């Protein structure tokens, strides 16, 4: 059940908002620097309801910062990563919480695997933006036998409508006349990037699952399952120490 903070003392509310310490907040109140519902409040111990009352300091409306939470989810096929209210199942609906969440990056409806869900906009920017070069690894099955020259071209970076892609790393897991199974690691995260890369060479993707972001893995999460993760653990795993840009095709 979600807790509310009704009838909180004004100086405590100011401290929660990061205005000042509780003691200094009391001094601000005494000095007449705090406005509640268009009224200057100087009374110590004054009670407010943060859900209803509007509190201003230096003309700025104050709100208690939302607790930042982080989850990793094994997205099932058929789920969408949007927050819009479409008649389709959403990844954010898998998580039981009162926080307003959104996904970091996206996996298209037909793809599966690892996705981070949070309310931390700064982290979202760092993980999603190509300039931060966070590697993302996908397990992919494409129709047909993909030969070496195609892999070499992909690894060097091919052109899509948005421009040239950065170098990638590919590891071949298995291939025959019917299909090729591989792992591909990319660092940009453009829309439907993996599918578009192989479509460029007329190899349609049959199955796509993201298994790793940085050094963060799905672990034993089954499709539709999630677990909460600390900010510290994310920081340790999203930005790996390996800075090598060498790409290599490796048969196993």
Q: What angle do CA 45, 50, 51 make, to 5 degrees?
A: 145
So what's the pLDDT on residue 189?
Answer: 76
Residue range 8-61 forms a domain whose CATH class is alpha beta
Tell if the pTM clears 0.75, that is, is over it: no
Higher pLDDT, 245 or 123: 123
List where CATH 3.30.2350.10 sits in the chain: 70-238
pLDDT band at 130 (very low <50, low <70, confident <90, very high): low
So what's the pLDDT on residue 124?
Answer: 75
So what's the pLDDT on residue 3?
Answer: 42
Q: Which residue has the tokens 């829309």?
A: 191
Q: What whole-number distance in Å separates Cα of residue 56 and Cα of residue 14?
A: 10
Active-site residue flag, 108: yes
* Ordered strands of the 39-40 beta sheet: 39-40, 34-36, 55-57, 60-61
So what's the pLDDT on residue 42?
Answer: 95
Cβ distance 91 to 75 under 8 Å? yes
Cβ within 8 Å of residue 163, ≥6 positions away: none
Cβ distance 176 to 145 under 8 Å? yes
User: For 70-238, which CATH superfamily applies?
Assistant: Pseudouridine synthase (3.30.2350.10)
List 53, 93, 108, 110, catalytic entry: 108
So what's the pLDDT on residue 1?
Answer: 33
Higher pLDDT, 17 or 221: 221
pLDDT digits (tens, 9 = 90+) for 209-233: 999 998 999 989 999 999 999 988 8
Cβ distance 73 to 95 under 8 Å? yes
List where CATH 3.10.290.10 sits in the chain: 8-61
Q: Which of 46, 42, 44 is nearest to 33 (CA)?
A: 42
Helix H or strand E encompassing 170: strand 169-175
The pLDDT mean for the chain works out to 87
So what's the pLDDT on residue 122?
Answer: 75
So what's the pLDDT on residue 119?
Answer: 86
Q: How far apart are the first and last CA of the chain?
A: 50
Q: How many CB atoms lie within 10 A of CB 60?
A: 10
Q: Which residue has the tokens 């405590």?
A: 12
């Amino acid at each position: 059940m979600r807790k509310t903070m009704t009838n909180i003392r004004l100086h405590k509310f100011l401290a929660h908002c990061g205005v000042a310490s509780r003691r200094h907040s009391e001094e601000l109140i005494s000095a007449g620097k705090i406005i509640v519902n268009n009224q200057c409040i100087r009374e110590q111990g004054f009670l407010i309801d943060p859900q209803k009352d509007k509190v201003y300091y230096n003309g700025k409306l104050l709100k208690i910062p939302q607790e930042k939470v982080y989850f990793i989810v094994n997205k099932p096929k058929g789920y969408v990563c949007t927050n819009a209210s479409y008649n389709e199942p959403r990844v954010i609906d898998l998580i039981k919480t009162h926080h307003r969440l959104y996904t970091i990056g996206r996996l298209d409806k037909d793809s599966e695997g690892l996705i981070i869900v949070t309310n931390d906009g700064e982290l979202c920017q760092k993980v999603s933006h190509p300039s931060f070069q966070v590697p993302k690894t996908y397990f992919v099955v494409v129709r047909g036998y993909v030969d070496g020259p195609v892999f070499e071209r992909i690894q060097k970076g091919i052109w899509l409508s948005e421009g040239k892609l950065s170098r990638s790393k590919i590891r071949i897991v298995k291939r025959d006349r019917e299909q090729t199974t591989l792992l591909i690691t990319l660092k940009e995260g453009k829309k439907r990037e993996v599918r578009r890369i192989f479509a460029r060479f007329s190899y349609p993707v049959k199955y796509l699952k993201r298994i790793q972001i940085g050094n963060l893995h799905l672990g034993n999460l089954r499709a539709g399952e999630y677990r909460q993760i600390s900010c510290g653990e994310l920081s340790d795993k999203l930005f790996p120490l390996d800075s090598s840009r060498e790409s290599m095709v490796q048969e196993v």
